[in-house]
Structure 1
Amino acid sequence: MSDSQVEGAASTSGLGSRKRRWTELLAGRVKRQMCGPGTEQKLQESAVHLLRRHLNLNDLLLEVEGAPRKTLCLNQLIDPEACTNLSSSLIGSALRDQASRLGVPVAVLSSRLVASSITQICVSDGESSHRVLLSAEQRKKLSSLLEVAQYLLAHSMFSRFSLCQELWEVQGSLLLEVVWQLHIQNVVSFQELLESHADTQATVAWLFRNLCLLCEEMEASPYNDIARAMLSDLVQMFVLRGFQKNSDLRRNVEPEQMGQLAFVVLQRMLILLHLN
């Protein structure tokens, strides 16, 4: 072999060696980035953000589940006839599987799913902006949904706080009776929902507007007994909160802030009653 051939072979060998080392270096860098501290939490937060902002959760779940296995759909969850064929344990198992695939906590996925189902129920009659009471069909669907939510809650697969956040996102479509049903069925209390909203003025405005609609709808509605029970429970809560100094209930805001909210709502209701 000539001197030039030897040098060429050595040069080629050196380039290959350097190339291999560079590839290994890049592989090691990627591995370190993927395994770095906080990476998993950041990925999970990004996944949760994507899940919260996705416009069609039903389509997202079907994409994850795959076309052949449509085990869990929003329509199945809120449809009483479909829920008859799907046990709560089966729904819980499907949610665990999908949460694992999406890389998000199952409680967050469950809460998002329940909130989306609630929204579909509220807007199903097309008149949610002028009503606070559910129709008989809406009430039947909500009852089936709350049974699932109670199961998820009992098995630590549901987040009350996440549900509250999701409901405030769709407050324009949220019917007051839904909130009351969540309260009396021990899924999310009325107090928890009110306290989860950081904007007290917006909370008061939403609540007062819905109370006015409740009073208007009460006499004409065929569900007068439900309307009266709702108004009685809410007024009782406002009185207790507005004039109670101490409370042992969990709070996300200062106690006096909740008391002030109740006081303002009662004051507005009294003014409205006086004007009428």
Structure 2
Amino acid sequence: MSDSWVPNSASGQDPGGRRRAWAELLAGRVKREKYNPERAQKLKESAVRLLRSHQDLNALLLEVEGPLCKKLSLSKVIDCDSSEAYANHSSSFIGSALQDQASRLGVPVGILSAGMVASSVGQICTAPAETSHPVLLTVEQRKKLSSLLEFAQYLLAHSMFSRLSFCQELWKIQSSLLLEAVWHLHVQGIVSLQELLESHPDMHAVGSWLFRNLCCLCEQMEASCQHADVARAMLSDFVQMFVLRGFQKNSDLRRTVEPEKMPQVTVDVLQRMLIFALDALAAGVQEESSTHKIVRCWYVPEGGLPECAAGRCLPN
């Protein structure tokens, strides 16, 4: 009797020969667990870690929710040909979808949206570039980034965007992050240069990254007439920030970040530039060489010294 009963159970059939569904087989076997606040918090933290560690957030959302999550794609929002009215409608729609998705995943919507925007910034920056080590965006990249930042401003205005999480996500794509993109984030009020730089866990590493990119910016300023205005504005803003923050005496008590971080970065970059220039002079670099162009651009920018040299620079 027992031998004849086992096959029926394994095949999912009841004694009458009717095949039972898995839901019926499992009914009554799963005990409902009582709500545990501590366990719920751990699950929430695990979900946040999964979002932050996943390389492709859109792919992760598809894994969780299926094809319907394709509606969360930002491709339409950053479409250069989309009209302003359509872009606003798309921002509202995607913002609503993000809120729903965050609710289902059990994570703050600000973290979810920050990861998605950072991922899109990375995709824009990794598009085909004009130079081997670019710091400037192409015209097409600049248009797409502008549309994306409009969407980010919408999220900020509706308290659906975490600045801190966004900064952390950006540094994960540091190797592909273009300096001009960082500058636009500052100018458009998404995250300030100071806020972004201070969020990096390694001040020496971020100083090295800045120095390398600023050298490339100076070198490309004279080689590119198409982006000259943008490059000059970038260099001016960076120099003003370095001088203002590097030699300030009174720390801003309103800041929530550690006050010693920013002077550490700015002084590090200024020292690197000074040593670079002194080494170039000692080596007797030839005029019109890349090194000569960098030194000339940094210390004698077109149009004379920046306003901060006369003590008139303003924060941010």
**Which bin holds the TM-score, normalised by the shorter protein?**
0.7 to 0.9
Any conservation in 2 of the 1:72–1:94 contact (CA below 8 Å)? yes
Instruction: Indicate the residue corresponding to 1:215 in structure 2.
Output: 218
Is the counterpart of residue 46 in structure 1 residue 49 in structure 2? Answer: no
The correspondence of residues 1-276 of structure 1 with structure 2, limited to 5 A, is 27=31, 31-32=33-34, 35-67=35-67, 70-81=70-81, 85-86=86-87, 87=89, 88-125=91-128, 130-221=133-224, 222-248=226-252, 250-253=255-258, 255-274=259-278, 275=280, 276=292
Change (3 A) 1:45 1:129: farther
CA distance in 1, matches of 2:131, 2:103: 35
CA distance in 2, matches of 1:154, 1:205: 34
Change (3 A) 1:59 1:128: farther
Higher helix share: 1
TM-score (norm 2): 0.73
CA distance in 2, matches of 1:262, 1:137: 31
Instruction: Indicate the residue corresponding to 1:16 in structure 2.
Output: none
Q: Is the partner of 2:260 in helix, strand or coil?
A: helix
| Residues 11-57 of structure 1, C-alpha deviations (whole Å, 9 max, x = no match) | xxxxxxxxxxxxx9x83xx623xx22322211111111111222322
The code of the aligned residue for 1:197 comes to H
Change (3 A) 1:128 1:150: farther
TM-superposed CA distance for 1:75, in Å, is 2.6
The code of the aligned residue for 2:124 comes to I
Any conservation in 2 of the 1:111–1:160 contact (CA below 8 Å)? yes
Any conservation in 2 of the 1:77–1:145 contact (CA below 8 Å)? yes
TM-superposed CA distance for 1:252, in Å, is 2.3
Change (3 A) 1:93 1:153: same
* Unaligned stretches of 5+ residues in structure 1: 1-23
CA distance in 2, matches of 1:268, 1:36: 54
Change (3 A) 1:63 1:127: farther
Q: Which moved more, 1:199-208 or 1:55-64?
A: 55-64
* Unaligned stretches of 5+ residues in structure 2: 1-27, 281-291, 293-316
Q: Which moved more, 1:157-166 or 1:70-79?
A: 70-79
The code of the aligned residue for 1:132 comes to V
Any conservation in 2 of the 1:78–1:121 contact (CA below 8 Å)? no
The code of the aligned residue for 1:59 comes to A
CA distance in 2, matches of 1:46, 1:181: 32
The percent identity for this pair of structures is 64
TM-superposed CA distance for 1:97, in Å, is 1.1
Change (3 A) 1:152 1:160: same
Q: Is the partner of 1:38 in helix, strand or coil?
A: helix
TM-score (norm 1): 0.83
Any conservation in 1 of the 2:203–2:264 contact (CA below 8 Å)? no
| Residues 64-92 of structure 1, C-alpha deviations (whole Å, 9 max, x = no match) | 45325632214334333458534222121
| Residues 207-252 of structure 1, C-alpha deviations (whole Å, 9 max, x = no match) | 1111111011111121101101100000000000111022325242
